Amino acid sequence: MPELPEVEVSRLGISPHLQGQQLTKVVARQRQLRWWVPDEVLQQQQQPILAVRRRAKYLLLDLPGGSIILHLGMSGHLKVVPADLVPGKHDHLDLLLANGTALRLNDTRRFGAVLWQAQGEQHPLLAQLGPEPLTADFTAETLIQACQRRGTAIKLVLMDNHVVVGVGNIYANEALFKAGINPQQPARDVSADKLALLCTIVKETLAAAIVQGGTTLRDFSQVDGKPGYFKQELLVYGRGGQPCVNCGTALSEVRLGQRSTVFCPLCQPLLQKN
């Protein structure tokens, strides 16, 4: 599933083509995505697109009466194309613009979503989200407080959208390795200093991934069709059994929360509570 950097790269890619443009019509060739595309989305015609925002892994296209919410799911991606370009098999939805172009959603597996949030309301999917990691709302103190009484593995806490949004599996692996924290360590047993360091590294890792275009996954490409480039610099994710870049020890791979978790047993020792 595309993570926060991939979604932010998509936002940066589509914003110049959409913001300030007139949305003339929404065409849904397949309404059954992860959820049924609501009527309110299809009713948006002749509306200016005021802004293109991101909240966690959701994109929001702000219109006068509310926002169209887009989620890319596991295989979705967006492209700006000529409005008359013949759609492919998995091109499920177009947002037609007055300038003759369209924002096209392609989603092979149909795990993505197109939803509606009325003006002045908050969609239930967005209502309980935690702070954005790249803002001042996510601090060492907020992370320390979230971990104080939790016996859950620190990696799972870091991926909890109530604690901080958008830190998915790839970047949780990477950040914990850089911070020297074993992903299986109970969150309450990680020192405040380590958590402060982790907070900083999460911000740096996500920011670097955005600059480099997101991480190339099998189903992800940028809005211009070019792949992201950050995968070339991944230190642990997808490298189970390979040598650690720091010490040469074979990287261990386990499952946490049903997700692949890779770490160095020497650089990220599992500490015993005193």
Q: Is 109 annotated as a binding residue?
A: yes
Active-site residues: which are they?
2-3, 57, 259
Rounded alpha-carbon distances, angstroms, from residue 196 to 47, 176, 206, 232: 44, 12, 16, 27
Rounded alpha-carbon distances, angstroms, from residue 228 to 5, 36, 84, 181: 10, 30, 27, 27
Binding residues for DNA are 90, 109, 150
Binding residues are 90, 109, 150
